[in-house]
Amino acid sequence: MRVGTSGLVLNEKLLFEHSDPGRKGYSLPELDVPSSDLPRELCRDEIPGFPELSEVDVVRHFTRLSTWNYGVDSGFYPLGSCTMKYNPKVNETAARLPGLADLHPATPAHLAQGALGLMYLLQEALAEISGFAAVTVQPAAGAQGELAGMLMIRAWHEAQNSSRRKVLIPDTAHGTNPATAALAGYDVVPIASDGVLSMAEVEAHMDDDVAALMVTNPNTLGLFETHIEKICRVVHERGGLVYCDGANLNALMGIARPGDMGIDVMHFNLHKTFSTPHGGGGPGAGPVGVAEHLVPFLPKPVVVKQGDTFRLDDDRPQSIGRLLAFNGNFGIMVRAYAYIRTMGAAGLKRASEMAVLNANYIRACLEDTFDLPFKSRSLHEVVFSDRRLAGGCHTIDLAKRLIDYGYHPPTIYFPLVVKG
Amino acid sequence: MRVGTSGLVLNEKLLFEHSDPGRKGYSLPELDVPSSDLPRELCRDEIPGFPELSEVDVVRHFTRLSTWNYGVDSGFYPLGSCTMKYNPKVNETAARLPGLADLHPATPAHLAQGALGLMYLLQEALAEISGFAAVTVQPAAGAQGELAGMLMIRAWHEAQNSSRRKVLIPDTAHGTNPATAALAGYDVVPIASDGVLSMAEVEAHMDDDVAALMVTNPNTLGLFETHIEKICRVVHERGGLVYCDGANLNALMGIARPGDMGIDVMHFNLHKTFSTPHGGGGPGAGPVGVAEHLVPFLPKPVVVKQGDTFRLDDDRPQSIGRLLAFNGNFGIMVRAYAYIRTMGAAGLKRASEMAVLNANYIRACLEDTFDLPFKSRSLHEVVFSDRRLAGGCHTIDLAKRLIDYGYHPPTIYFPLVVKG
Amino acid sequence: MRYLPHTQEDVAAMLGRIGIDSLEDLFAEIPAAVRLERPLNLPPPLAESELLRELRRLAGMNAGVADFHSFLGGGAYNHFAPAVVDQLISRGEFYTAYTPYQPEISQGTLQAIFEFQTLICQLTGMEAANASMYDGASACAEAVLMAVRLTRRHKVLISRALHPGYRATVTAYCRYLDMQLEEVAVAADGRTDPADLLAKLDEDTAGLVIGYPNYFGCIEDLGQAAAAAHAAGAQLIAAVAEPLALGLLKSPGELDADIVVGDGQSFGLPVSFGGPYVGFFAARQKSLRAMPGRLVGETTDLDGKRGFVLTLATREQHIRREKATSNICSNQGLCALVTTIFLSLFGKQGLRELAMQNHAKAAYTRQGIEALPGFSLPFAAAGFNEFVVRVESGDTAGVLAALEDQQILGGIPLGGEYPELQDCFLVCVTEQNTRQEIDELVAALAGGAAS
Amino acid sequence: MRYLPHTQEDVAAMLGRIGIDSLEDLFAEIPAAVRLERPLNLPPPLAESELLRELRRLAGMNAGVADFHSFLGGGAYNHFAPAVVDQLISRGEFYTAYTPYQPEISQGTLQAIFEFQTLICQLTGMEAANASMYDGASACAEAVLMAVRLTRRHKVLISRALHPGYRATVTAYCRYLDMQLEEVAVAADGRTDPADLLAKLDEDTAGLVIGYPNYFGCIEDLGQAAAAAHAAGAQLIAAVAEPLALGLLKSPGELDADIVVGDGQSFGLPVSFGGPYVGFFAARQKSLRAMPGRLVGETTDLDGKRGFVLTLATREQHIRREKATSNICSNQGLCALVTTIFLSLFGKQGLRELAMQNHAKAAYTRQGIEALPGFSLPFAAAGFNEFVVRVESGDTAGVLAALEDQQILGGIPLGGEYPELQDCFLVCVTEQNTRQEIDELVAALAGGAAS
Ligand SMILES: Cc1ncc(COP(=O)(O)O)c(C=O)c1O
Ligand SMILES: Cc1ncc(COP(=O)(O)O)c(C=O)c1O
């Protein structure tokens, strides 16, 4: 399939350039109470530069802008590390249901049992899928999940009167891993990997100032960290904890559980593995699963069940506190819950199998054409380099040329360990 | 503004060409009752050629197809005769409200008071806007409204024991007018207009075999039929009735009412004057307003109010009957009602004024450039011919070139009285 | 006013360009005598939030299927529509476009209609389908007119078991045309009476219209009817008010129908108090030029690329005027798109499975009611997802009212349209009715509703 | 499974191409010891219709604003969102796109974010805004960190009248960093105590965070706070949980704030039990490189055409890794789009009028409650659309429960976060509360809820 000629291409100005003084795009009921003035000195005159548009101006502006975008609904979107799933339409309907969308976060728990129940059921489902003892659904994205996780690791160390200062992070890691470790007050120690982490490298760095190892599994090369169990054992033996970046969980649902591998804490990206839309850069959600020993440190409030009722438990003295003003990206939780209930156990496993099948199929089709720096069996993604590209072509050229053919390019220049 | 280069253009196959045996795009609950077989000889094997697609296939297919279309939401859409208004978004929300969208047409009247009430209020509002004694909201589109109207005219004649066989139709009329007259069993007599109908032409043709005159006001040249009152008087004096094609009512809301001009019956196009979407060719709705003497002949059932309750009145012996299986395009009525309630009297008048202002402004800007065959003051549309176009250019070339500039072309080669 | 972009300055500048002083002047050609000299008497305008509040209030007075267990059918069916359908038709490029008269910027609509036409042909077993009609009833009327055009005969037979709304619509459409409609009786088993049919078919019979399934939910012997019609030189018109049945039943085309019409509402359209729905119209290739309505055809552009255009417009009123095959102009385009998306999702397997579920649930309900004292099933013919129930006491209204009190819409009383079935009502069961709902219906009927 | 397009034949062919025999083999690298040898223990899959039924059941257990008169605010506001907003963000090109890393096919998102940033600058009176943060609270935490970065100081003062959720979030973010947070007391009028503030500002103070309006709905004297902060060399951070107030109030920029953060939820986002909302973050041009999060900038392509790209990515974690200005990656892009569309619709006049209505309704309510025996208003400072009510009897819980019985969510009890305000609750009134609802609230309070 090639780029066709049937479509329309429309230019569009900035919305401010459409503005015309006196246009209105809103309606308000007549004020039904006496008007009331704020003290003059508190008030501004007008908002300089703010637009004035009619409703049709606004509709056309954003409709036209949208046509400049490519989404999962437009076609194949093979971004490595991003898990660009189909975003089910019924989930959009679900998140907008009255009773969910119009529920205020300060509603008393007895009048919000449906919402709290949904959060609880989602926590339970994620715990089962990942093999962790408990899950918080509060964090707003993967990186915030990482922060929650690293703060819990630090709180755990403090609770043992340990004040370790270092975190080991492999060179394949996503940039959020070191950035998060730093935000939790840690010094980052990069460690080398050769496709996967070797025991030697871990053992060489795992000293008694290391609080944790952050690992991604499968890692950003799409490879399963084959020594993961042993790695966890060594880290634990030497007094550290293991954080897992769960961005790539889509390879493992129903196949293997990070919690069973010895990992202490992991974030999920609901906007990856659990089909919620990326939204052009969020909102997502980054729940975190923890092993038993980290449960006391979970961000608060935690949704708990007592008998048949649910409530937000705030009375958690060892908690790291809260990372958002309210209960997290509830609308995203609704979508993820809808996905899990739609797929069921067999469906989730099948989704993982098909993702891995697809990546390996692409690999099989292209490994004679492109350079494949790491050769062990891929899971849900495969990373090529541009070394074998002829004619002075680089990854970026390939990426842009794919656009000409109507496809979204793959993720490029990541992970940093692969050249091009 | 010119066609830009920011947009995407994507090819797309036929949906059948995406099909792959075994794909599924649906889900059904497990059957919770015993299965039951129909006698074998009644059953087909499978539906040859029917597609098999997953949900994401379907979403991508239609998303991509849509990008080949231009809508009112894409930009300026200056089709004469079509009244391409902005289609308000809240009306789409309104028509989908539970209680409206999921109401079955056979619901007993006492459990459908809201819907019947809405239909009644819409009838009343349309009657007030048009100056007619009563309105039926049953017909599904303008042409079906015409049919309802012409059948009523014929029924009225029959009730007077008159069996006139001819209908006068000006050469500027839309094709549905003669087609409808024929469907009502009439012979069509075309009459000439010179921009507007002259009294002489009407008087020359108005004999005692003429059942009706069908007139469009403002007509398809965008001109007000200035002699309309006298024309109605003459037709009435000679025993005929006057049908008005109300497609162009958008020029007159709050300005003048067809019912006050002596017209006996007129259809509305809710998908024109009352902002409901054209939908790429429908659904619309074509209510019909009638003067007092035609009320007994309205299609049945009619929504009537008794005390505080509404019901469908089926007991109308002189009615022409029904033209659809149920109550008409109710979802379109909801949108039109929403529009009327949003605009109010002043808003509707302003809409007419702005439409007429726009058409005259375009005329003022272009009348030095293009040939303007009819020179009297335009209402909501203006018709140019291609006579003055240089370089062998014709209307069709101009239309297609406008597309290159990102605009929808105006209506072309209509009405037939204007060359090119 | 948020829908009108004009500012005061715009208006002044535009009036200046036009060369007039006021908006008043724009209407100079309208004689004073017919000017409206007062404001329209309409309720004051509502803000968007107020409008929704008011419409929610009206909606709240209606008994939607969210609040009631509904067993209403009779040409409008409570089927589930996947969320995909509404989200796709809500794309502005689809629903705010006009009829695709400019193919260069309407290929989306055109290809989708082409796909609709193809799906309808596959479903009905016919060779040519149009871009849609208003609804099943008006499509049926157009079919009758086409049969008359094709045969140049003047009599059309209509089965009394055809949907009453369809029959009434045919009657209204044909009211002043030079033709007669004659009714064919219903046999004891609920199907069209073959003897009466044969007796009425003659050399002036243009066509015969039969519901498939018919209004009572019974599956007509279409093959036999086709043979009889064809023997008399008449066209067989099959009218399909519940097209989901075609997921299981032999197609009318296979059974030799000449014209197949029906309503696509079952395929993704909400019942919406009766509309908008979507009529479909399919026929044989040889009758193509006699067909009413728009047709989309495939073509290639100058570069050899496939494209789609409105075709055979010479049948239509824009060109043919009073000689057109129909007066229809706007049809139900967006509803045809709904149907197309729905059928794309369900496809070959899904439509069959959906039809099976409907049939199984109706059969289960039928058995449940049949076993109740006080009720009987007058018609023995096989049915799809509807059937007629007789109230032995004769108090149909009382039975249905008692059900309403239990938030059940139990069925459509038949007495209004069929005085001979004053003691009967029509029950419809779809995949949306759970076994529990069905059991509640049966229990409610058992528990005194019959008394 | 309707979301997975693979057929059995596809799977077989693909396995063949890969050169393995089974799906099992794909996972050969995963050691047997960590394989899951049983199916996941999850509830059975639901069909789409069942799923919606289940979610409607859960939704039905919640007290949404459709059923209750709600006076809950406190950082999440019940404002009306025009239908346009949701319909536009529901376009697949917007919501199913990834972060705009490939500008050639992401100009829609990029230009919209650029417009968002511009609107936030205009609204806050600042010079640079980022592409969004998770919410107001986390934006506030990031602002604190930025103040520390900019000043290289270690102490940050936080007003006790700042939203408790914001305070808690700042605390958690800063938990293990080399810095101290100190609280500034609340004065009797409900605003930050200027004396305590001055006393605590010193040469190690990096910044001062003040709510504008604050959690009690009071309008802080931001100008005075800015002067004090600047005199000490500290940054003033204004945190705006109800940005609608900025439709009326002087902008924080005008009052000399250095960093302005807040939450855009009021502008078109449903309250949705707490999220997703959208944090905004604006600062001075000179601090641009110290800002957290993504930024979109304008550029021109080779043909001189305007375009937009992600810019200054060198601050971000992809490149800077542990030295990044923040760890944020995905933000709340689609929610920023909501806000952009909402503000485009309301614009200059609309936002002002909306703000006026909110203020007028709150003032009306405030007067109504103030006049009631048994209730008083502890704080005298001017407010926007929220205010604190004191229950003289001290039985706040009883009062609110009595309101609930009348389908009124009367406010947020303050005792949990402010033990000194155990007898108080926070009332919020928006344009969505009609006078009738307000009168009902006042009547309910009068009629015994006070007892
Ligand atoms: C491997 C990996 N880790 C972490 C993240 C950060 O997740 P988020 O963007 O949800 O904060 C990503 C996102 O792209 C990722 O791919
Ligand atoms: C003048 C005129 N009359 C009648 C019609 C027919 O209306 P409808 O398409 O609603 O049947 C139209 C529609 O284009 C028209 O422009």
State how far the Cα of B354 lies from the Cα of A377, in Å rounded to an integer.
67
Q: What b/e readout covers A48-68, taking b as 16+ CB neighbours within 10 angstroms?
A: eebbbbbbbbbbbbbbbbbbb
Beta pairing partners, D35: A256
Residue C58 amino acid letter: L
Q: Which atom of ligand 1 is nearest to the CA of A144?
A: 11
pLDDT in tens, A168-180: 999 999 999 999 9
Distance D313 CA to ligand 1 centre (A): 16
Burial class (CB in 10 A: 0-12, 13-18, 19+), C347: buried
State how far the Cα of A325 lies from the Cα of D38, in Å rounded to an integer.
39
Query: What's the pLDDT score for residue C449?
Result: 54
State how far the Cα of C407 lies from the Cα of B218, in Å rounded to an integer.
51
D259 and D206 Cβ atoms separated by less than 8 Å: no
Q: Is the CB of A213 under 6 A from ligand 1?
A: no
Asked whether the beta carbons of residue C305 and residue A4 sit closer than 8 angstroms, the reply is yes
Least confident of A319-328, B341-350, C145-154, C312-321: C312-321
Set of chain C residues whose Cβ sits within 8 Å of the Cβ of D87: 90
Q: Is the CB of B332 under 6 A from ligand 2?
A: no
- What sign does the dihedral A402-A403-A406-A410 (CA atoms) show? positive
With a CB cutoff of 8 Å and minimum separation 6, the contacts of C205 are C153, C155, C156, C157, C229, C232, C233, C234
D449 pLDDT band (50/70/90 cuts)?
low
Q: Which atom of ligand 1 is nearest to the CA of A286?
A: 10
Q: Is the CB of B269 under 6 A from ligand 2?
A: yes
Residue B150 amino acid letter: M
State how far the Cα of A113 lies from the Cα of A117, in Å rounded to an integer.
6
Set of chain D residues whose Cβ sits within 8 Å of the Cβ of A183: 145, 173, 177, 326-327
Angle between the N-to-C axes of helices D164-174 and D136-151, in degrees from 0 to 180, rounded to the nearest 10? 50
pLDDT in tens, A166-219: 999 999 999 999 999 999 999 999 999 989 999 999 999 999 999 999 999 999
Query: What's the pLDDT score for residue B1?
Result: 27
Counted across chains B and D, CB pairs separated by less than 8 A come out at 57
Encoded tokens for B285: 């709705």
pLDDT in tens, D117-132: 999 999 999 999 999 9
pLDDT in tens, C41-76: 999 999 999 999 999 999 999 998 778 999 999 999
Q: Which atom of ligand 2 is nearest to the CA of C330?
A: 9
Asked if pLDDT for residue B3 goes beyond 60, the answer is: no
Maximum distance among all alpha carbons in chain C?
Answer: 83
State how far the Cα of B368 lies from the Cα of B380, in Å rounded to an integer.
19
Counted across chains A and B, CB pairs separated by less than 8 A come out at 97
CB-nearest to C5 from A6, A56, A90 is A56
Q: Name the average pLDDT for chain B.
A: 95
State how far the Cα of A206 lies from the Cα of A183, in Å rounded to an integer.
21
Q: Where are the alpha helices (DSSP H) in C269-421?
A: 317-320, 333-370, 396-405
DSSP A3-20: --SSS-------HHHH--
Counted across chains A and D, CB pairs separated by less than 8 A come out at 610
Set of chain C residues whose Cβ sits within 8 Å of the Cβ of A93: 83, 87
Distance C141 CA to ligand 2 centre (A): 20
Query: Which of B79, B81, B146, B412 best tests ligand 2's pocket when mutated (most atoms within 8 Å of CB)?
Result: B81
Q: Which residue of D has its CA nearest to A184?
A: D176
SS3 of A186, please? coil
Distance B148 CA to ligand 2 centre (A): 14
SS3 of D73, please? coil
Query: What's the pLDDT score for residue C92?
Result: 98
Asked whether the beta carbons of residue A44 and residue D241 sit closer than 8 angstroms, the reply is no
A6 pLDDT band (50/70/90 cuts)?
low
CB-nearest to D7 from B8, B20, B59 is B20
Asked if pLDDT for residue C451 goes beyond 60, the answer is: no
Among all ligands shown, which has an atom nearest to the Cα of B221?
Answer: 2
Query: What's the pLDDT score for residue B391?
Result: 85
Angle between the N-to-C axes of helices A142-159 and A176-183, in degrees from 0 to 180, rounded to the nearest 10? 40
State how far the Cα of C357 lies from the Cα of C385, in Å rounded to an integer.
9
Asked if pLDDT for residue A5 goes beyond 80, the answer is: no
Q: Name the average pLDDT for chain D.
A: 96
State how far the Cα of B121 lies from the Cα of B337, in Å rounded to an integer.
8
Query: What's the pLDDT score for residue B75?
Result: 95
Mutate to test the interface with D, among A73, A104, A323 (most CBs of D within 10 A): A104
Beta pairing partners, D164: none
Query: D284 CA to chain B: closest CA distance, Å?
Result: 31
Give the DSSP H/E element, type plus range, for residue B190: strand B187-191
Set of chain B residues whose Cβ sits within 8 Å of the Cβ of D303: 5
With a CB cutoff of 8 Å and minimum separation 6, the contacts of C57 are B114
With a CB cutoff of 8 Å and minimum separation 6, the contacts of D42 are A125, A128, A129, A340, A344, A345, A348
Query: What's the pLDDT score for residue C66?
Result: 79
Q: Is the CB of A245 under 6 A from ligand 1?
A: yes
Give phi and psi for A42, each to the nearest 5: -85, -15
Asked whether the beta carbons of residue A329 and residue D276 sit closer than 8 angstroms, the reply is yes
Distance C214 CA to ligand 1 centre (A): 58
Asked whether the beta carbons of residue C5 and residue A57 sit closer than 8 angstroms, the reply is yes
- What sign does the dihedral B151-B152-B156-B159 (CA atoms) show? positive
Q: Which atom of ligand 1 is nearest to the CA of A245?
A: 3
- Going by C-alpha positions, the residue among B245, B188, B179 that lies closest to residue B211 is B188
A347 and A354 Cβ atoms separated by less than 8 Å: no
Asked whether the beta carbons of residue D48 and residue C87 sit closer than 8 angstroms, the reply is no
Could you list the beta-strand ranges (E) of C99-244.
128-129, 155-159, 180-184, 205-211, 235-240
With a CB cutoff of 8 Å and minimum separation 6, the contacts of D99 are A278, A280, A281, A282, D294, D330, D333
Angle between the N-to-C axes of helices B113-130 and C48-60, in degrees from 0 to 180, rounded to the nearest 10? 130
pLDDT in tens, D210-260: 999 999 999 999 999 999 999 999 999 999 999 999 999 999 999 999 999
pLDDT in tens, C152-181: 999 999 999 999 999 999 999 999 999 999
State how far the Cα of C13 lies from the Cα of C17, in Å rounded to an integer.
6
State how far the Cα of D113 lies from the Cα of A334, in Å rounded to an integer.
26
Among protein residues, the one with the nearest Cα to ligand 1's atom 12 is A247
Residues in B 147-166 with any Cβ partner in C closer than 8 A? 147, 151, 154-155
State how far the Cα of C117 lies from the Cα of D291, in Å rounded to an integer.
57
- Going by C-alpha positions, the residue among B140, B175, B169 that lies closest to residue C326 is B175
Could you give the angle at the alpha carbon of B36 between the alpha carbons of B31 and B42, nearest 5°? 130
State how far the Cα of D217 lies from the Cα of D226, in Å rounded to an integer.
19
pLDDT in tens, C312-364: 887 888 888 888 999 999 999 999 999 999 999 999 999 999 999 999 999 99
SS3 of B223, please? coil
pLDDT in tens, B71-117: 999 999 999 899 999 999 999 999 999 999 999 999 999 999 999 99
**B74 interface with D at CB cutoff 8 Å:** no
Query: A100 CA to chain C: closest CA distance, Å?
Result: 17
SS3 of B34, please? coil
Set of chain A residues whose Cβ sits within 8 Å of the Cβ of D109: 69, 280-281
State how far the Cα of B5 lies from the Cα of A68, in Å rounded to an integer.
9
Find tokens 């715990």 and name the residue: A127
Q: Between A416 and B89, whose confidence is greater?
A: B89
Q: Name the average pLDDT for chain C.
A: 96
Maximum distance among all alpha carbons in chain B?
Answer: 77
pLDDT in tens, D13-46: 999 999 999 999 999 999 999 999 999 999 999 9
Query: What's the pLDDT score for residue A417?
Result: 81
Set of chain D residues whose Cβ sits within 8 Å of the Cβ of A409: 102
Asked whether the beta carbons of residue D107 and residue B6 sit closer than 8 angstroms, the reply is yes
List chains adjacent to chain B, taking adjacency as at least 3 C-beta pairs closer than 8 Å.
A, C, D
Asked if pLDDT for residue A10 goes beyond 90, the answer is: no
Asked whether the beta carbons of residue C49 and residue D83 sit closer than 8 angstroms, the reply is no
**D49 interface with C at CB cutoff 8 Å:** yes
**B54 interface with D at CB cutoff 8 Å:** yes
Cβ atoms within 10 A of the Cβ of B285, count? 33
Query: What's the pLDDT score for residue A1?
Result: 27
Mode of pairing for the β-strands spanning B241-245 and B210-216: parallel
Mutate to test the interface with C, among D1, D2, D49, D53 (most CBs of C within 10 A): D49
pLDDT in tens, D37-95: 999 999 999 999 999 999 999 999 999 888 899 999 999 999 999 999 999 999 999 99
pLDDT in tens, C255-291: 999 999 999 999 999 999 999 999 999 999 999 999 9
Among protein residues, the one with the nearest Cα to ligand 2's atom 10 is B142
State how far the Cα of A310 lies from the Cα of B301, in Å rounded to an integer.
53
Q: What b/e readout covers B158-188, taking b as 16+ CB neighbours within 10 angstroms?
A: eeeeeebebbbbbebbbbbbbbbbbbbbbeb
State how far the Cα of D135 lies from the Cα of D141, in Å rounded to an integer.
10
Residue count of chain C: 451
Cβ atoms within 10 A of the Cβ of C105, count? 27
SS3 of D434, please? coil
Least confident of A260-274, C63-77, D408-422: C63-77
Asked if pLDDT for residue B2 goes beyond 50, the answer is: no
Asked whether the beta carbons of residue A23 and residue C5 sit closer than 8 angstroms, the reply is yes
ipTM: 0.97
Q: Is the CB of A221 under 6 A from ligand 1?
A: no
Query: What's the pLDDT score for residue B5?
Result: 44
